[in-house]
Amino acid sequence: MSSTFRIQEKNSGKTRNILAPLWFLLPALILICIFIYYPVIRTAGLSLQNFKLFAQDDIYFAGFQNFSVIFNDLHFKRIMVNSVIWVVVSLFFQFTIGFVLALYLNTKFKFSGLYQAIIFIPWALSGFLMGLIWKWIFDDNLGIMNTILEGIGLIDKPIPWLSNDKWAMAAVIIANIWYGVTFFVIMILAALQGVPKEILEAAELDGASSRQRLFLVIVPFIKNTLVLIILLRVIWITNFPDLIFGMTSGGPNEQTHILSSWLVQKITYDQDWGAGSALGMFILIILFIFSVFYLLAVKIEDGDK
């Protein structure tokens, strides 16, 4: 797609031309190494150390002690289950709603420009603050959610949204769906705008119904995009503790923690950086394994890149 620029600089020796692209990239690469790759290596090191911020004179190599602390934690199983539910349920609804909205927004209507701008609202504030807002809405006694649900007759008595562990999990996931649809609308809308009109017209002439056009023409055309954004989204949702942090801080009784919110708690509140880093490595490894299997399973083709 991109035409490669032929190098026709005047008075420039051959060596300079070979190095030019790397000079341009050097600042970015240095920053990436220092601020992204170095921390990964350091985290790997920390995960094998007994490292507590409040006891800095007591730092020593501890082997896999941090990992065993995590795996043997009373809440570990619950947190794993929560993480899976958090990712799968959020992703399913974010994707489905995002897809439908993107299809609608791909056709022009009176307020479509304005609507596109409104889609961005969830991104206008930090996930943590959005979590606090939802906490306010879902509050067991003062929250508007129960008032609304009672008002339209869906429930008889208030739901203990944030004090019951199952309802609390439902509440944080609802908030996460609200937050994450934006991403899918943007990505899918951009992909839909790349579907050539001729293909759709040809399919219509051949008598394909709109459902057939959707599933037999449009979806195959944007398949690689869908595959990639779902993978990125799984990684991203797994590492998105902000909402939970704002809404429940993992409570009641640690029952709404996911792996990444647990990590934040280990780093910021417990200040046990050894355990926090072990948790970080655990997340990284799980996501890596998942990504490999996912990409093998869907066999991404070198198609519509």
Partner 1 sequence: MLKGFSKGTKVTVLTIWFLFTIFPLYWMFLTSIRPVREVTKHFFWPRSNSTLESYRALFRDYAFGTYLKNSFVVAIAASALVIFIGMLGAYSLARYRFKGKSQVMLVFLVTQMIPGLIALAPLYLLLSRLNLLNTLIALVLCYLGGMIPFATLMLRGFLQQIPPELDEAALIDGCNRVSALFRVIFPVALPGVAATFIFSFVQCWNELFLAMVLIDSDANKTFPVAERSFIGAYFIEWGGLAASVMIGIIPTMIMFGLMSKFMISGLSAGIVKG
**Cβ-based nearer residue to partner 1, 147 or 253:** 147
- Residues 137-176 close enough to bind partner 1 by CB under 8 A: 137, 142, 144, 147
Residues in binding contact with partner 1, number by CB under 8 A: 105
Interface residue with partner 1, options 15, 22, 154, 297 (CB under 8 A): 22
- Residues 202-261 close enough to bind partner 1 by CB under 8 A: 209-211, 213-214, 218, 225, 228-229, 232, 235, 238-239, 241-242, 260
Interface residue with partner 1, options 69, 70, 237, 264 (CB under 8 A): 264
- In whole angstroms, the minimum distance from the beta carbon of 124 to partner 1 comes to 4
Interface residue with partner 1, options 80, 89, 170, 287 (CB under 8 A): 287
- Residues 102-141 close enough to bind partner 1 by CB under 8 A: 103-104, 106-107, 113, 115-130, 132-137
| C-alpha to C-alpha distances, 175 to 132, 169, 199, nearest whole angstrom | 10, 10, 38
**Which positions from 24 to 63 touch partner 1 by CB under 8 A, shown as an x/- string?**
xx-xxx-xx-xxxxxxx-xx--x-----------------
216: left (phi over 0), alpha (psi -120 to 50) or beta: alpha
Beta carbons of 230 and 258 less than 8 angstroms apart: no
Q: Does 199 bind partner 1 (CB under 8 A)?
A: no
**Which positions from 67 to 106 touch partner 1 by CB under 8 A, shown as an x/- string?**
------------------------------x--xx-xx-x
Interface residue with partner 1, options 63, 64, 166, 193 (CB under 8 A): 193
Task: Give me 2's structure tokens.
Answer: 């991109």
**Cβ-based nearer residue to partner 1, 68 or 126:** 126
- In whole angstroms, the minimum distance from the beta carbon of 35 to partner 1 comes to 2
Beta carbons of 179 and 130 less than 8 angstroms apart: yes
